[in-house]
Structures are given as structure tokens and as C-alpha cells.
A = this chain, B = another copy of it.
Amino acid sequence: MSITVVGSVALDTVETPWGRNEDGLGGAAVYFALAAANFTPVHMVGVVGDDFPDRHMQLLAAKGIDLTGLEHASGATFRWSGRYHEDVNIRDTLDTQLNVFEQFHPSIPETARTAELLFLGNIHPALQAEVLAQTRPRFVAMDTMNLWIATTPDALRAVLREVDAIVINDGEARQLTGEANVVAAARQVQALGPRIVVVKKGEHGAMLFTEADAVFAIPALPLKTVVDPTGAGDSFAGGFLGCVAQSGDTSSATLRRAVAYGTVVASFTCEAFGPARLAEIGPADIEARAALLRRLSEF
């Protein structure tokens, strides 16, 4: 099964205690696609400006990602700039320039409409709805963020009612429901629409909520150095949905394994600036680390 992902493609400038990466390849759709491409064919839908380097196009194409849906608009590519603290859980956004992303309306090409799975990356819920109006595959997952939860709650809830799964972080689950306990929050998110709720907790791992009493939880892989956590959450979603696509079903066993593989892929992303490490790994690296993750919690 193939996946279509719709989301941001960006040039990121990131500072961490380990260094600085200027105008590097970034964006949720990029991290998602690079992660998912290890498992299954991926169609990427987004927009870049006329300053988007050819080498980034080549890197994505070399990974087998279908770029038919990557629009080239006149103007500058979306830019984000941020700084992480010694505690990488804390980051300051220094600058956001929407540029060509400001006028973006996703157009899903024919090839991408054939995908059985769709991931609605973290974009305005009205744009997520535009995508759903163009294609309605058998399994739809979404992401969102604090901005949309706070500013466009009704549009967000309309999309939530239409999706099978949501992949969000614990803070977003709490904000969306007003519920401090993450288990209770996830159950309330399910009541808003998605029957599958995946909660990402960064260095603390991830949780999966499916039927009423079914919960799955795993720790993150312990990393002594986190060089740059940018894109870890999007990589997680890519590994998760990639694994679901590869398995071809949404059984409990598949979903559990998918959360584990999302965790594994995200751990690679944290090891270098931008998608540098993510872009160089392959299925064998992922399998080796999945074996470590399995052993990590065995008692």
C-alpha cells in the first residue's frame, strides 16, 4: 500500500547546544516522507519556492518519493528558525516566514489519489479538509498543533470527525481536551472521532490507544546525545504509517509494531541536524534498532 502525505516543506535554521544548521532541508512532509519511504511508496504533496535547492529534490527523489504533487511556486520557500536549550525539550521559535506556504492550497495529483493511506500533516485544518474533499482513501491519519487547537477549534473538530487515526504529542492531547491525565485525554480524543490515538511523548516514548481497554506503551530509545530533535515527531508519524502500509492491515499487532517502528525511526532523526541521519538509514538499520527496542523493556 502507498501513502500520500500533505504538509510543509521548509528550509530550517536550527541552533542547538551542539551547533547550528542554516537553511537546511526541513518541514513535516519531508521528515514524514523520508521515514515512511523505508517501508512503502510515498507521494508527497506540498509547495516550495524558486529558491528550493535542487539537491534537496534529488535527495527526496533518490529515496523513491514521488514528487509529482510538490508544487513549485514563485517566491521564497517556507522558512522556520528555532533554538533548542541544553534541555532539548525546550525550544524557542526565533522566526517563521510562511512565504509561498501562505497561499498554498493542496492539489492532489492523480498518482497520489491512488494511495490507500493518507497523512494530513500539521497544516491549517481548513486545508486538511480541502485534501479530504479531493481524496478519501481507506485509512486517514492526521497531525495538528497547539496553534490550530487554540485558534481554529471548530475546523479542527470537523476534520477530527473524518479521520481514523491521530498522531499528536501529550501536550496537544491535554490542550485539545482540557484533561491533565494523558490516558483520560486520549480517551476523550477518541470520542472526537479517531478510533486510533497515538500519543508521542518525546524522550518518554509513546502510547497507543485503540479499543476501550487496549493500551500500548513503550519507552523511547535512550539517547545520550540529542543533536537536533526537529522533525522527530514527523519521522515518528512516517515510521508509524509506513509500517501500517507495509503490513496492509490495522490489527492491534500491526498498530503496536507501527508505534515501535515510529519510535525507532524518530531516534535516528535526533542523532544529527535536520534529516541528515534519517536520510542515510535503510530498512536494515531500522530492523537492528527495533531489536534493541524490543530488548530494552524485556524483563
Contacts and interface: CB of A to CB of B under 8 A. Distances in A.
A296 B87 contact: no
Q: Within the oligomer, what is the number of copies of this chain?
A: 2
Given A205-B219, A215-B296, A297-B297, A183 B259 contact: no
A204 interface: yes
A191 interface: no
Nearest to A260: B299
B297 A88 contact: no
Contacts of A298: 256
Interface residues of A, number: 37
A183 B222 contact: yes
A217 B219 contact: yes
A188 to B, nearest CB: 11
A299 B259 contact: yes
Contacts of A226: 181
Given A187-B224, A205-B204, A224-B187, A218 B181 contact: no
Nearest to A206: B219
10 contacts: A88-B181, A187-B224, A205-B219, A216-B296, A217-B219, A218-B299, A253-B299, A256-B298, A256-B299, A260-B299
Interface of A: 85-88, 174, 180-184, 187, 201, 203-205, 207, 215-220, 222-226, 253, 256-257, 259-260, 294, 296-299
Q: Give 4 nearest A-B pairs by CB, closest first.
A: A217-B219, A204-B204, A87-B180, A256-B299
